[in-house]
Amino acid sequence: MSPVDSILGLRDLVVQRVERRRDIHVWARPAKRPVCEYCSHDGLRIKATHRRTVKHTRQGNQLMVLHLSVPKYHCTECHRYFRHRFSGIRPRFRATEAYRLEVFEAHEGGVSQRKLTVTHRIGSATVERWYQSFVRQRVSELSSRACPQVLGIDEHFFSRKKGYATTLVDLKNHKVFDVVLGRSEDSLHRYLQRLPGKEHVRVIVMDLSETYRRIAQRYFPNAMIVADRFHVIRLVNHHFLKLWQQHDPDGRRNRGLLSLMRRHHWKLTALQKENLHQYLAQMPVLQALYFAKQQLNGFLVLKSLKAERSQKMLPKFLALIRQFEQSPAKALAATLLSWLEPIVRMWRFTKSNGITEGFHTKMEMLSRRAFGFRNFENYRMRVLAQCGWNGVINRV
């Protein structure tokens, strides 16, 4: 193959001539005759030839148009007829796969349909059709996936009309496993009942949701539930801020004090600690609650502990929760006791739903770029194609 022929990026083509006008027009023909696609016999004769015009990539700001000479073959062995098939060009398509992929990647990268109609000389409906075709191709590759061993479950808002959706994330491979409409057990029952490979799930990470805990216990019998560290610490801070509001409403509205109260004590500077201690010295009850909260957060941030150390830490952790039961924060103590096993498992595991929350940010970006979705299945396919697919498209 000559260097001129290889510029096209299509195999077994011989360039006959090139003309540069508004676009780049290339005339080409097959480099060799194939074997019969029915009987694999190599004795073919050309019965007729017709012209085929297809669009093929852009060079600079010029569109390349291919004018192909397409032979119609007759097999002397089986006496059947067929037309020549070109590598990288589907039958009856008016664009090469490289060109369709170029449009898909540009649109996926944020280029609007209106802009693509100008730069690539195709209609907006064609852009959407090609985009949906590649999305379906990606999603079809995900249909045979097994349930991940480490699963993250969380909810996110879809639309005002259809409400919330549940996100299932493969936390081991950092991929979205699936998105299901609804967040109640009734709405997820049919999907979870026919989900293959549920018995292979070993760890499920979730926030402190009773609904998702019931779902995990019912549909994933071999999985251990691990609480999400961020949501547990946020719950502790939420209860503490409510108690602070009861003791000192004016201080609670002070944005500087609020920033100091929310942070971990070991992350404050010496000056910040001094200012905070001066304020807490005026209210002994709040001071005791604050240092108890900091001690509790010290337990909650532990991770990657060995089993022996976890067993030694557990009595101290339970004793601290019992102290909260005798304080104004008894509601917090009741919640921590009801979720004791998932919270203690945080010491052994490092996985959290931070990956899931990151995907929720990306899903929100996809929804904003599309100006919202009415059809949930289109939204699901778009999310799986961009957040769950890790294959490689053949670039011809």
Q: What is the pLDDT of residue 317?
A: 92
> Are 130 and 90 spatial neighbours (Cβ–Cβ below 8 Å)?
no
How do residues 143-162 score in pLDDT, each as one tens digit?
Answer: 778 899 999 999 999 999 99
Instruction: List per-block mean pLDDT (blocks of 10 residues) for the chain, which spans 396 residues.
Output: 65 88 90 90 90 90 91 92 90 92 89 90 92 89 86 94 94 93 94 91 94 94 94 93 90 89 90 91 90 92 89 92 88 93 91 92 90 91 87 53
Tokens at 318, concatenated: 């339970």
* 140, 176, 216, 286, 359 from 388: Cα distances, Å: 12, 5, 22, 47, 10
Q: What Rg, from alpha-carbon coordinates, does the chain have? A: 31
- Cα torsion through 75, 81, 83, 86, rounded to 10: -50
Q: Which CATH class is domain 150-227+352-388?
A: alpha beta
Task: Report how far residue 389's alpha carbon sits from residue 141's, in angstroms, rounded to the nearest whole number.
Answer: 8
Quick one: DSSP state of residue 337? H
Quick one: DSSP state of residue 386? I
Q: Which of 147, 183, 178, 154 is nearest to 354 (CA)?
A: 154
Give bridge partners of residue 206 from the DSSP assignment. Answer: 227
* 124, 219, 270, 380 from 346: Cα distances, Å: 50, 22, 30, 31
> Domain extents for the chain?
1-91, 95-144, 150-227+352-388, 229-347
* 83, 168, 198, 281, 359 from 174: Cα distances, Å: 45, 11, 19, 46, 9
Q: What is the pLDDT of residue 138?
A: 87
Tokens 């109260």, residue? Answer: 261
Share of the chain above pLDDT 90, in %: 60
The full DSSP string for 162-208 is TEEEEEEEETTTTEEEEEEE-SSHHHHHHHHHT-TTGGG--EEEE-S
Residue 163 has phi, psi (to 5 degrees) of 80, -140
Contacts for 48-51: CB closer than 8 Å, 24+ residues apart: 48/72
> Are 252 and 244 spatial neighbours (Cβ–Cβ below 8 Å)?
yes
Q: What is the pLDDT of residue 144?
A: 78
Q: Which of 127, 175, 182 is nearest to 151 (CA)?
A: 175
How do residues 164-199 score in pLDDT, each as one tens digit?
Answer: 999 999 999 999 999 999 999 999 999 999 998 899
Q: What is the pLDDT of residue 43?
A: 85
Q: What is the pLDDT of residue 175?
A: 93
Task: Report how far residue 332's alpha carbon sits from residue 223's, in angstroms, rounded to the nearest whole number.
Answer: 26
Quick one: DSSP state of residue 23? S
